[in-house]
Chain A
């Protein structure tokens, strides 16, 4: 994953992307009062056939990030590249081709399917757009239904005839139709019943193994991310606070916010309940995020410096990046201190 080397260019690269929404007051003589920094300088990449988990609470920018990747929003700054190509410049046929390569499955299977279209038609939609002929479409729909463990006869039925879990599998089949390279999964299991979730997770893993498709898994449930993702990115108020390979992250969480998230994840067994980090206060408004480190208002370890200086995302061990003043490399702070002292001497 060395940048600049084409042979190792990842499938998707999100490069310092920002998305600001103006906040207006009034309609006719509208004034812009400020900007909501929904996504503020986010970078990560996804390798072919791998899963990246994007974790955070409401308002952290995870949905905006996924919409930027789906090319449903244009970034204020920064770039998203698919196979090395900036996606937000695409037009015409190139854009159509992009839509085939990046697909999405959304949280609510009740609202994401057209109630007046048969399941077969919904799944075939993207193939019709791509100009496939009828017999080929029919064969592909049957193949896709089989892939998501539904019966061929289900193609003639309407969404209301299915359960939530089945609907989510129909949505997945529709996403898979164009053989995408990347699927954005926005909370794909949180609307499903507990006993159905495991089926969906197993199915997603099987399909990834068969088709070598990459996933961007947007979720708030850390146990799901741990089970599914190769890399995990934790966001807070538009910023990445921690980014690491999932196994490293779950072995040692570093950022105080991630620690709090971990402790908030309601572990499945009473004997696994460890120390609890209960955060004070509410999530601040993204309209006026706190100065310095955005988490400092709720952080149990905050020091004066946190409210003035924004910590950069830095690598603290191979592959493990954290944006927190607590983990600044020791000798850097010593060097900083040393320089200040030298300056003092000169003044005196």
Chain B
């Protein structure tokens, strides 16, 4: 891992324009992804983590969602200003994505080999036999047994874990610098989930690509990531190295989130720490700190304005008024 940033996101604002009003799904998100690292983006459903990913890929749902502001710098250049045609060249070759449900990311009427061939073909031309051989090699890389037989099969003939491997093979076939994995293991069984995470780690070590790993599960973060960014109501509220965030979470939301998960060791029983209430509606965000209504440490000034980003340690930041005052 070097200190060079392969992806820099600056003050990204993506809103959804619905009949009911404007949903401020991504409302000023900034982070860096270093070459060869795994950055976790953690948050609950509806906090804007998937829309952040789609904004980076420029694959937002047509009509309703629009990126209003901000920069997404891939290797130093802002890809938000690129034409759709240039974006198609960037997607798959420089930045790829794996989605949660392998069922919907594969085309049911094409064989796995044809879908891989399409991805390989974008990168280099070659005879059918050559490309098919490369496709079989790609399947072997994602640890699919008997790839020569599997290549002619259709998605419905494969298990969920295997389909997600095929999706992974397609995603990395263009040798991207950045892979965005949006909850790639949520739909898989637990033992299969572990296999998949191991596979992603191995592929990352082999290729040196950087991964933006989106999840709601702190356990996955502990296993996969070097750094983690915690997202709440459209903003990143805390960001830092994984070990540090687990030991010294600074933002009250991160603290409560980590404390509310039952443990696999230590004493059993007793009550779990809970976070009362609900996340705020993104249609109607409160002034000031968005966590104030649920925060145990809320003080007088917390609702005055959005809190400052405070350096609380090496590479460790948190958006909190209380930390700013100390």
How many A-B residue pairs have C-beta atoms within 8 angstroms? Tell me.
Answer: 124
Contacts of A58 in B (CB 8 A): 189
Query: Is A346 an interface residue, CB under 8 A from the partner?
Result: no
A227-B272 contact, Cβ under 8 Å, with A58-B189, A220-B189, A260-B191:
yes
Contacts of A205 in B (CB 8 A): 271
A283-B268 contact, Cβ under 8 Å, with A195-B257, A268-B218:
no
Q: Which among B216, B256, B268 has the greatest number of chain A C-beta atoms within 10 A?
A: B268
Q: How far is the CA of A202 from the CA of B274 in the complex (A)?
A: 9
Interface contact A266-B219, CB-CB below 8 Å: yes
Contacts of B286 in A (CB 8 A): none
Contacts of A223 in B (CB 8 A): 261-264
Q: Which residues in chain B, 249-283, are within 8 Å of chain A measured between CB atoms?
A: 256-258, 260-265, 268-269, 271-276, 278-279
Which of B123-131, B175-183, B192-200, B310-318 participates in binding chain A? B192-200
Contact with B along A235-260 (1 / 0, CB 8 A): 00000000000110010000000001
Q: Which residues in chain A, 161-204, are within 8 Å of chain B measured between CB atoms?
A: 163, 165, 193-199, 201-202
Interface contact B190-A265, CB-CB below 8 Å: yes
Interface contact B194-A278, CB-CB below 8 Å: yes
Contacts of A278 in B (CB 8 A): 194-195, 198
Q: How far is the CA of A297 from the CA of B252 in the complex (A)?
A: 46
Interface magnitude class on chain A: 35 or more
Contacts of A262 in B (CB 8 A): 264
Contacts of B90 in A (CB 8 A): none
Query: Is A226 an interface residue, CB under 8 A from the partner?
Result: yes
Q: Which residues in chain B, 232-249, are within 8 Å of chain A measured between CB atoms?
A: 242-243, 246
Nearest chain B residue, comparing its CB with the CB of A205: B271
Interface contact A276-B264, CB-CB below 8 Å: no
Interface contact A268-B219, CB-CB below 8 Å: yes
- Give the dominant DSSP class at A's interface: helix
Q: How far is the CA of A198 from the CA of B222 in the complex (A)?
A: 20
Contacts of B268 in A (CB 8 A): 226-227, 246-247, 250
Interface contact A264-B264, CB-CB below 8 Å: no
Query: Is A271 an interface residue, CB under 8 A from the partner?
Result: yes
Interface contact A227-B262, CB-CB below 8 Å: yes
**A183 shortest CB reach to chain B, Å:** 20
Interface contact B44-A198, CB-CB below 8 Å: no
A201-B262 contact, Cβ under 8 Å, with A227-B268, A265-B219, A282-B161:
yes
**B129 shortest CB reach to chain A, Å:** 29
Query: Is A12 an interface residue, CB under 8 A from the partner?
Result: no
Query: Is A263 an interface residue, CB under 8 A from the partner?
Result: yes
Q: Which residue of the partner chain, among B192, B216, B263, B269, contacts A268 with CB atoms under 8 Å?
A: B263
Query: Is B159 an interface residue, CB under 8 A from the partner?
Result: yes
Query: Is A224 an interface residue, CB under 8 A from the partner?
Result: yes
Q: Which residues in chain A, 279-313, are within 8 Å of chain B measured between CB atoms?
A: 279, 282-283
Contacts of A316 in B (CB 8 A): none
Q: How far is the CA of A186 from the CA of B186 in the complex (A)?
A: 18
Q: How far is the CA of A226 from the CA of B263 in the complex (A)?
A: 8
Q: Which residue of the partner chain, among B190, B198, B246, contacts A261 with CB atoms under 8 Å?
A: B190
Q: Which residue of the partner chain, among B246, B257, B260, contacts A270 with CB atoms under 8 Å?
A: B246
Interface contact B219-A267, CB-CB below 8 Å: yes
Instruction: Apart from A224-B262, A270-B243, list 19 A-B contacts with CB within 8 A.
Output: A58-B189, A195-B257, A198-B260, A198-B261, A198-B262, A223-B263, A223-B264, A227-B272, A262-B264, A265-B219, A266-B217, A268-B258, A270-B246, A271-B243, A271-B246, A279-B191, A279-B194, A282-B192, A283-B189
A-B contact pairs, 30 of them (CB 8 A): A193-B216, A194-B216, A194-B217, A194-B261, A195-B274, A195-B279, A196-B275, A198-B260, A198-B272, A198-B273, A201-B262, A220-B189, A223-B262, A227-B262, A227-B269, A262-B264, A264-B191, A266-B193, A267-B223, A268-B246, A268-B258, A269-B222, A269-B246, A270-B222, A270-B246, A271-B243, A272-B265, A278-B195, A279-B194, A282-B159
